[in-house]
Structure 1
Amino acid sequence: MLKILVTYAVQGEFVELKWPDIEPYYVRTGIGKVKSAFHLAEAIRQVQPDLVLNIGSAGTVNHQVGDIFVCRKFIDRDMQKMKEFGLECEIDSSALLEAKGYCEHWMENGICNTGDGFLTELTHVTGDVVDMEAYAQAFVCRLKEIPFISVKYVTDIIGQNSVKHWEDKLADARQGLSNYLNVLKERI
């Protein structure tokens, strides 16, 4: 049985996996990079998963509410400003996923831009979606040599919507992610 650790930030993003031949575990990480990294590291220590699957909501600049992205590339927008000083701000989790043969048929590729602030004003953002946890989780998984992938449902357009709009769209995100994972994909 494949052990999959499913991470989500808030209860409104929780989706139960119904795939055959897996042993799913779930951890609510909380919002933000620090909480997320801590709770994920603790869960990895306890579960020792074969794969970490992050699911959740995200904002966007260039796409539409309801779009779903499978992210294997992650940018830390807070550290991006320090890139010129040699600090790392990008992670690509593709190699570990490919080595294990996981998620090869998941083609909705996207780049997730992570930071510790909820973006409500239009700014230059590198990537397809923005969140507050995925980069930190990708970082922990890379250190632990555990394959990591993130599936994000777009709930809000940066510069057009508010935190309230995000809260109102969580039910749609949960339904969209459940449909994507349990109907369209059905397997890892």
Structure 2
Amino acid sequence: MTALGTDRPRVRAILIAAMGQEIRPFCNRATDLGEVHAVGNAKLQEGRIEGLDVVLVRCGIGLVNSASATVAALHRWQPDIVISVGSAGGLQGKVKRGDVVASTELTYSTADAVAFGYTMGQVPGMPVTFSGDSASLAAIGDDDSVVAGPIASGDVFVSGYLLDNIIFEFPQTAAVDMESTAVAQVCHSYEVPFISIRGISDMCGQDASSEHDDNLDDVSERSANAVVRLLTKVNATTA
């Protein structure tokens, strides 16, 4: 674990999305938006949503982009929680297009060190899975628009051969994306609460890419709605 100092500005949440379309619903809700800080490939911006101080991060697509952006944000701000937002692919029988999924646990869909005694999906030296923030999951529990379930992440868009492997290796998985588990790993290392809240843009399969493009804006809005409801609810109960 890596401890961070407490001299950084305190914010309610760091909200991380891969693409501009995914972070835009939060920008549209935000007031007092500050200047954009460019750190590597990431764009970071302070603002306020429903009176809460937040940091909006557009990290870029993929595990490395999301991990490096998370590190940059955590070294600049001290959040109560980090939330991965935007879109994800869904697994048949677990969710449907338009659902919003909150991560109960997270793993890597393509990590394989089984030959050395590790569990499929586990990075050596890390837990078998990373847990979603329990307080957030409890607060989400009575939100009928959100499905709680496992999320798997990898640097491959799940539309073909990888789907069968995920179903076999991770049969409980509800959704897949290309960032959330990397953000979870960083937050685990820095002892910062984390959850992923993603809208299901497509059902993993041969039509996934076109479904994703068609539904990205809508599910990004749904993800943002769920996140804002969560933040305001938790803030009201702790005020």
TM-score, normalised relative to structure 1: 0.86
Distance (whole Å) between structure 2 residues aligned to residue 4 and residue 132 of structure 1:
21
36-45 vs 2-11, which moves further: 2-11
Whichever residue aligns with residue 105 of structure 2, its letter is K
What does residue 37 of structure 1 align with? Answer: 67
1:18-58 Cα shifts (integer Å, max 9, x gaps): 76452111111111101110011001101121210111111
Aligned equivalent of 2:105, options 73, 79, 89:
73
Aligned equivalent of 2:158, options 119, 122, 130:
119
Does the CA-based 8 Å contact 1:75-1:113 persist in structure 2?
A: yes
Runs of 4+ in 1 over 4 A off after TM superposition: 17-21
What does residue 53 of structure 2 align with? Answer: 23
Does the CA-based 8 Å contact 2:137-2:148 persist in structure 1?
A: no
What does residue 144 of structure 1 align with? Answer: 190
1:83 paired to 2:105:
no
Does the CA-based 8 Å contact 1:93-1:147 persist in structure 2?
A: no
Query: Structure 2 stretches of 5 or more lacking a match?
Result: 1-9, 31-48, 142-146, 235-239
Query: Structure 1 stretches of 5 or more lacking a match?
Result: none
Distance (whole Å) between structure 2 residues aligned to residue 116 and residue 73 of structure 1:
18
What does residue 8 of structure 1 align with? Answer: 17
1:34 aligns to what SS in structure 2? helix
Question: Number of matched residues?
Answer: 183
The offset of 1:83, in angstroms, is 3.2
After superposition, the Cα gap between the structure-2 partners of 1:185 and 1:47, relative to the gap in structure 1 and judged at 3 Å, is: closer
More contact order relative to length (CA 8 Å, sep ≥ 6): 1
Aligned equivalent of 1:173, options 213, 219, 230:
219
1:155 paired to 2:210:
no
Whichever residue aligns with residue 42 of structure 1, its letter is A
After superposition, the Cα gap between the structure-2 partners of 1:23 and 1:185, relative to the gap in structure 1 and judged at 3 Å, is: closer
The offset of 1:102, in angstroms, is 4.0
